[in-house]
Structure 1
Amino acid sequence: MAEHHDPRRPGFPPWAGRNFRLLVGASFITGIGNSGATVAAAFAVIESGGSATDVGLVAAARTAGMVVLLLVGGAVADRLPRQRVMAVANIVNACSQALFAALVLTGHATLWQMAALTAVGGGALAFFSPAAQGLLLATVEPAHAGQAFSVYRLATNAATIGGSAVGGALVAAFGAGWVLAVDAAGFAVAAAMRARIDVAHADRGPRSGGMLRELREGWQVVASTSWLWGIVLQFAVVNGMVNAVEAVYGPLVSRESLGGAGPWGLALAAGGAGTALGAVLMMRWRPRRMLVVGTLGVFPLALPSAALALTLPAWALAAVMFGGGVAIEVFAVNWMLALHQEVPEDLISRVSAFDWLGSVALTPLALALAGPAASVFGRTRALWGSSGLVVLLSLAVLLLPDVRRMERKPRPASPQPVRTPAQDSNAAL
């Protein structure tokens, strides 16, 4: 149950109580650390004599660790107090990053060790992310869910932007090992903060079977709900396209036609600034048709690849990325609101795990195929193809009746259960 805010405490809105502040503060700390550590890990591989392929392998290990354990993490987060799941995940991250830092600082880090420790971090994230999705709404009153989601995402996006910049500067000044050590300490602090979150352990219903049965229940919700599986499938491809553009095509076009890494870095920073503005916008805007507005926010993600295909000047590319950042934040907040409004609380982490799995599963494949696609079809055609896929999939989602019909509920009520086929069968007996 969300606690009431002490009105005598200055600097916070009335709905942002102690639990919410602890959750957001811990997320900001780990967000800064993670972003800096991503930069540090890449330079740790390079400084140990690794190649560009080795850097990619270590980065891919994190995604692989997350994908393998996501569904288990979702089931665990629906069984146990979510703040404890998040705290334990932070402790695991703290230990893996501390060992990573020690290996780098002593000069004994090997490629397999760095990949394995990064995979451990990804595995911890597989438990953390579904639990975070389920816990956020428990820290505020339902009437303030939209504002809470916006503030949460504003904090995490700001941490990502700031962490990348600070991490790069610290790596240059002190070396990758010390940045990894600071990240480990940040995870330890965040674990302590999350352990202090005090929310009532809601009754999530009787446990009638093991973890496999519970995962089937989560899958039944996704598979039987068109707006859920439609948007999850959409983002399996859209995220792959966006990552291929940002990690492969953007740097290449910038190096060859825009003047080097600087313009592309400016474009990425503009995109980050756009997400911040989008979060501020969503603190006040409460669209009635959440998923229609959210899906419209996906269309601008087709513009960066089009801008690169046209080789627009750096300022125009930055403007396009800024607009895309605003738009995707509109989608993200409305998507979180829809999940919490329509999915029962006892299933939210499992459903979120399937959402996360769909969001990241095709990204490694898209990254691996980006180069070959440019070789076979030409980079310009590959970029236009990326834009076309984003547009076509977004149009397909808008054709789903449940997407067009869903409306924000007029009052803060408990979510209406999305019944599984098994539940419907039991009700008929």
Structure 2
Amino acid sequence: MAPVTDLATRRPALRAVLGHPAYRYLVAGTTVTALGNAITPVALAFAVLELGGSATELGLVVAIFAAAEVVTIMFGGVLGDRVSRRLMMRGSATATAVTQTVMAVSLIGGWATIPMIAAIGMLNGCLGALSGPSSQAMTRQTVPAAELADAVALRRLSSQTAQVLGFAVAGMLVAAFGPGWAIGVDALTFAVAALCFGRIDVSGAVRAGADDASDEGSGAAAEGAAARRSMFGDLREGAREVLRHTWLWLLIGQALLYHLFYGGVQGVLGPVVVKDRWTEAAWGWALAALMAGFILGGLISLRWRPRRGLLVGTATLSLTAAFPLAMALSDSLVVLLAGAALHGFGLEIFSVNWDLSIQQNVAEEKLSRVYAFDMVGSFVARPLGLVLAGPVSALVGMAPWLVIVGCVMGGTALLSTLLPSVRRLERRAT
């Protein structure tokens, strides 16, 4: 395991990363979007509840959004490797700004319904899924290989910091102005992000990897080859790339279990449990503590470069069990916030090392498709978890179900550290 480096030695490297205009616009766009997206889940949950919806109906609304993402994301991965990733990101952000504005106006005007919210949510899920793989793959196109680790960590840290701010004010915005105005803020952030993504130019950049394609694809030859391939042919090629890396498909499977169980906790049960035990604002504070844990993990990731980063990250992923266990076993708000912070810290250490492992070990021309498989594999079971969270918790009890969820989350992460492919993968020197 590599020793911790002094932060002063990292500052010149971080300045070098921010010296690339394309990277700055990418980070600015994703950061402002993260701010708005942190507000929306809180606002959406209480909007459904204010319209008379139950925990089960809230689960269905969130599940529809998640299902739309899963269905669409593979197309986003293929398109991200075929056409301009910048175009995918800008178009998605512009369209989402419009749909979020419609939802905000309907809530403010008092003519929103739960089916309408679900329909707009489904459309937003599709739009986000189309651009998600392109956004993830774009980092490597904006910086040289030697700066990739700093770029990955700094981008995630910036987004998580914005989400902390969003979660911190979400409950207060909803309480003071109502969910419609809070969602309106998200619409504005997507409009700003669209402007930022439109300014990204990687045509002359020195990117991370010798075989990198440009933002417009791999040139005329690559476009011709893409035209001759079928959508399913591209997906098969992406699947082969995933299956070629044992650690990749095994940890995607572990993530499937994580989201199957935890998705219903954050999307459905959490707001209900915390509101009943404390206040609406307390759920926003809990999510802010979660994001504070993300920031701490991101700061440490800027300094700490473990040689076997994927192993270290998978081990710290077990800390995510602390959040549902705190909801189940404690009446103390301090314990709840501590559990949320531990969850965020462990997940961020894992996420930085996971993202870097993909960026360093997957070919550029397949990167969007691999990220699409990662996202689908991770979230394909989440809609089911969201739908079942209300009925299952009603059957076995909220607290017992939260304990089961915590044990599954922590246990599967620890079991994953025993996998040889996870234990042996090493970070590439930069």
Distance 1:173 1:255 in 2: 16
Is 1:330 aligned to residue 349 of structure 2? yes
What is the aligned length? Answer: 400
Q: 1:339 aligns with which of 339, 349, 358?
A: 358
Aligned to 2:16: 14
What is the letter of the counterpart of residue 166 of structure 1?
Answer: V
Query: How many angstroms apart in 2 are the aligned matches of 1:119 and 1:319?
Result: 33
One-letter code of the match for 1:336? D
1:125 equivalenced with 2:145 (yes/no): no
> 1:359-378 maps to which residues of 2 (within 5 A)?
359-378=378-397
1:5 maps to which residue?
A: none
Q: Secondary structure at 2:156's aligned position in 1?
A: helix
Partner of 2:70: 67
Q: CA deviation at 1:101?
A: 3.1
AA of the residue aligned to 2:359: H
Structure 1 gaps of 5+ residues are 1-9, 412-429
What are the residue-to-residue correspondences of 1:396-415 with 2, within 5 Å?
396-411=415-430
Task: Report the residue type matching 1:116 in the other structure.
Answer: A
From 240, 250, 254, the counterpart of 1:220: 240
Task: Assess, with a 3 A threshold, how the Cα gap between structure 1 residues 184 and 269 changes in structure 2: closer, same or farther.
Answer: closer
Per-residue deviation at 1:95? 1.8
What corresponds to 2:137 in structure 1? 134
| Native 8 Å contact 2:62 2:383 kept in 1 | no
Determine helix, strand or coil for the equivalent of 1:326: helix
One-letter amino acid matched to 2:127: A
**Structure 1's 368 and 115: CA in aligned 2 closer, same or farther, altered over 3 A?**
closer
- The TM-score with structure 2 as length reference comes to 0.84
Say if 2:199 is the partner of 1:180. no
Q: Would the alpha carbon gap of residues 244 and 59 (structure 1) be closer, same or farther in structure 2, given more than 3 Å must change? A: closer
Residue type of the partner of 1:233? G
Which residue number in structure 2 is paired with residue 390 of structure 1? 409
Contact 1:146 1:282 in 2 (8 A): no
Contact 1:87 1:194 in 2 (8 A): yes
Task: Tell me the equivalent position of 2:3.
Answer: none
Q: Aligned residue for 1:420?
A: none
Deviation, structure 1 residue 58: 2.9
Tell me the TM-score normalised to structure 1 length: 0.84
Q: Separation in 1 of the partners of 2:147 and 2:120?
A: 38
The amino acid of 1:212's aligned partner reads: F
1:130-187 CA distances to partner (integer Å, 9 max, x unpaired)?
A: 0111001211222222222222112212222222343443444444444434432322
Equivalent position amino acid for 2:72 in 1: L
Q: Greater CA deviation, 186-195 or 226-235?
A: 186-195
Alpha-carbon distance change, 373 to 289 in structure 1, aligned in 2, over 3 angstroms: same
Q: Residues 44 and 259 (structure 1 numbering): CA distance in 2 closer, same or farther, change over 3 Å?
A: closer
Aligned residue number for residue 417 of structure 1: none
> Which runs of structure 2 are paired with 1:240-259 in the superposition (5 Å)?
240-248=260-268, 250=270, 254=274, 259=278
Residues 251 and 53 of structure 1, relative CA distance in 2, 3 Å threshold? closer
Contact 1:78 1:349 in 2 (8 A): yes
CA contact (8 A) 2:43 2:171 kept: yes
How far off its partner does 1:71 sit? Answer: 0.5
Note if contact 1:253-1:311 (Cα within 8 Å) is conserved in structure 2: no
Distance in 2, matches of 1:155 and 1:397, equals: 28
Q: Is the 8 A contact 1:32 1:160 kept in 2?
A: yes
Please tell me whether the aligned partners of residues 226 and 400 of structure 1 are also in contact (alpha carbons under 8 angstroms): no
Give the one of 14, 26, 29 matched to 2:29. 26
Query: Percentage identity across aligned positions?
Result: 38
**Paired residue for 2:92?**
89
Quote the offset at 1:341 in angstroms.
0.7
- What corresponds to 1:236 in structure 2? 256
Whole-Å Cα distance in 2 between the matches of residues 315 and 180 of structure 1? Answer: 28
Specify the alignment match of 1:314 in structure 2: 333
Residue 237 of structure 2 aligns with an amino acid whose one-letter code is E
Deviation for aligned residue 1:380: 4.7
Structure 1 residues 381 and 166: alpha-carbon distance in aligned structure 2, compared to 1, 3 A threshold: closer
* Segment drifting more, 386-395 vs 139-148: 386-395
Specify which of 166, 169, 175 is matched with residue 169 of structure 2: 166
CA contact (8 A) 1:222 1:229 kept: yes
- Taking structure 1 as reference, are residues 242 and 104 closer, same or farther at Cα in structure 2, changes over 3 Å only? closer
Q: CA deviation at 1:224?
A: 3.5
Q: 2: CA distance between counterparts of 1:376 and 1:47?
A: 24
The structure with higher relative contact order (CA 8 Å, sep 6+) is: 2
Aligned CA distance change for structure 1 residues 176 and 324 (closer, same or farther; 3 Å)? closer
Which residue of structure 2 aligns with residue 155 of structure 1? Answer: 158
Q: Name the CA shift for 1:100/1:137 in 2 (closer, same or farther; >3 Å).
A: same
